[in-house]
Structure 1
Amino acid sequence: MKNLDRLLVSGSTANAVTDLVIPALLLRAPETTWSELVHIYVPHAPTVAFSGRDLRSPGIAAATEIARAAGFETVVRSPGGRMVAYDSGAVVIDHLDRTTGIRHAGSATFAANAESHVKVLRGLGDIDARVGEVDGEYCPGEYSVNVAGTVKVIGSAQRVTATGSLFSTVVQVVISDRVRAVITDVSEALGYDLRQSSVAGLADYGPALTAGQVAAAFEADYRSRLDLTDGKLPAEVVAHASTVTPGVKPFHVDDWTRANPVPGV
């Protein structure tokens, strides 16, 4: 097998749906010039990213209406888990790996990523970052990252296909009132238990922190730890993802990417 690039890509496309479609398209591409690609960005638009599991809730229509009324784009993301909401106070990390397969899915991958993320947070200052689910958190997971065992600040979800894996992470840095409210209201509509005090951002513990600073810290970690080279997203993939026109219902990333592969890729 020829040597392929291992890339770090920084920055949002400035469109919430496009940012979520791009990793799904990259994961489905039959051939690429890279073996591993990590895309780290600060989202521009408020987004509620549902999962396939959320769609099975009888409250999904109400949850969608609530999110849209609050000014959030509604998308069904490619990875699993449950609903997550964020805006420009967050950092999103999409880690694509063409060398992994179904054998890499599961707890070992989640555990390794969570431990790495904890080290980054501890390096940002006096933040008591830990791995583990906290009582009543949204999108609950054994390998969530919390602060002091009381609030969730990082959650991850995975998607594995025949062509590789996508490990997606949301880091909550500055939680705005609208994000807190939509997580609460959408969780209630979906019938999920939520302890409102478990919703927090890193800036609640390090007030000087910004999403940009946290994104830079994660970029440095991934660049060093995985020996990545700075690069750009494939222009043809970005252009194709930008043709999406979301409707009233939550835009389903996997449905669209299956029906609309990148021409010539």
Structure 2
Amino acid sequence: MSTANNLDHARLLVSGSTGNAVTDLVVPALLLRAPGASWSQLVHVYVPQGPTVAFSGRDLRSPGIAAATEVAHAAGFTTVVRSPGGRMVAYDSGAVVIDHLDRTTGIRHAGSATFAANAESHVRVLRGLGDVDARVGEVDGEYCPGEYSINVGGVAKVVGSAQRVTATGSLFSTVVQVVVSDRVRAVLEDVSDALGYDLRRSSIAGLADYAPTLTADEVAEAFASDYRTRLGMTNGELPPEVVAHASTADGTSPFHVDDWTRANPTTLSA
């Protein structure tokens, strides 16, 4: 069988956090750019271990970014400028993060069709979790607003996604809010205010606000199972050399993922 055919069938599902907020965000950015991948698609589903405020490049253009960073730090959150776009999102161990890397796509695949397809798949998973009236669409006053956000009952946002596309593939990243802690609610409000963004506090919710027995681990497994079934993925691991390299990432706050990965590229072992 040719290498191309092997790549067509190498679809890996990886579960579990690396244990560090910055490393979790650096790894997919490195994998997106690294040559020598032995897989065509890799999905990393994990429950983040630390409270994180993930800014985007767009947020950096706000005159309030310095104040927003200080607010996040005062609340005990790690601040990172993530690789995908969108706007600021905050989360902790009550959330689930899904990073979907696809080496078969490129610039031509960027746009609304990818967001729509992922939103439809994610809604199906959420509706299967219990009494969750999951819908695709932006609600008034939500954080990181987007046409393909997922809300419950047309009232509160519970899922948001963002994308990064390069010449070597695409990264589609999703944050699912399951149990939203008081500190996450507060930092979303305070950081949004510092950045000059409108935010309706009642638009912030987690799935457990509607299905109280749900846990982040259960939701993570539901999504992992969906990717295994829907995309024919097999269980795998993150390349240990990439995780080790990503764990050396350090710098000024907010830490800028793309700046670091461009300055510190890696390759994948065969």
Same fold by TM-score, threshold 0.5 exceeded? Answer: yes
Quote the residue 1:220 is aligned against: 225
Deviations 1:148-169, CA, capped at 9 Å, x for gaps = 0000000000000000000000
2:31 counterpart residue number: 26
Segments of structure 2 that go 5 or more residues without pairing to the other structure are: none
Mapping for residues 13-162 of structure 1, pairs under 5 Å: 13-162=18-167
Match of 1:12 in 2: 17
Q: Where does residue 258 of structure 1 map in the other structure?
A: 262
CA contact (8 A) 2:30 2:266 kept: yes
Matched, 1:170 2:161: no
Deviation at 1:230, TM superposition (A): 0.2
| Distance (Å, rounded) in 1 between the aligned partners of 2:177 and 2:134 | 13
Paired with 1:252 and 1:100, the residues of 2 have a C-alpha distance of: 24
Identity of aligned residues (%): 81
Structure-1 separation of matches of 2:143 and 2:65: 16
- For residues 123 and 30 of structure 1, the distance between their equivalents in structure 2, rounded to whole angstroms, comes to 38
CA distance in 1, matches of 2:104, 2:28: 15
C-alpha change, 1:259 and 1:202, in structure 2 (3 Å) is same
Q: Does 1:184 align with 2:189?
A: yes
Measure, in 1, the Cα distance between the counterparts of 2:251 and 2:184.
21
In the alignment, what sits opposite 1:3?
Answer: 6
CA distance in structure 1 between the partners assigned to 2:268 and 2:39 by the alignment: 17
Distance 2:185 2:268 in 1: 42
Whole-angstrom distance in 1 between the partners of 2:250 and 2:192: 26
Provide the rounded CA distance (Å) in 1 between the counterparts of 2:71 and 2:108. Answer: 38
Which amino acid letter does the alignment assign opposite residue 185 of structure 2? Answer: R
CA distance in 1, matches of 2:251, 2:119: 32
TM-aligned CA deviation for residue 2 of structure 1: 3.8
Q: Which consecutive aligned stretches of 4+ in structure 1 deviate over 6 angstroms post-superposition?
A: none
